[in-house]
């Protein structure tokens, strides 16, 4: 048994900094939407954000997928809640 198998949250710990950056950017875009002068630029800015995010997260895709899988395995209520919605 590897260390990864013994602690299902290890991958999650690896990706937490990535998730923090995503949350920060979402907070930023929430502010942009609330400001009238910037609202008209939101779709273009958000599109650029998604493009950059796609490029930056691509090398971490496997780790992100494993983190999500391990979280769902460790906390089945996550997967159950998603299936119910």
Instruction: Tell me the whole-structure pTM to 2 decimals.
Output: 0.62
**DSSP letter string over the chain?**
--HHHH-TTHHHHHHHHHHHHHHHHHHHHHHHHHSHHHHTTHHHHHHHHHHHHHHHHGGGHHHHHHHHHHHHHH-HHHHHHHHH-
pLDDT tens for each residue of 3-53: 455 565 778 888 888 889 899 988 988 888 888 888 888 889 889 999 999
């Amino acid at each position: 048994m590897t260390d990864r198998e013994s602690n299902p949250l290890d991958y999650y710990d690896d990706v937490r900094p990535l998730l923090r950056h995503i949350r920060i950017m979402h907070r930023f875009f929430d502010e942009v939407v609330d400001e009238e002068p910037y609202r008209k630029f939101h779709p273009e800015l958000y599109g650029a954000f998604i493009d950059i995010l796609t490029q930056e997260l691509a090398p971490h895709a496997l780790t992100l997928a494993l983190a999500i899988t391990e979280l769902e395995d460790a906390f089945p209520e996550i997967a159950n809640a998603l299936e119910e919605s």
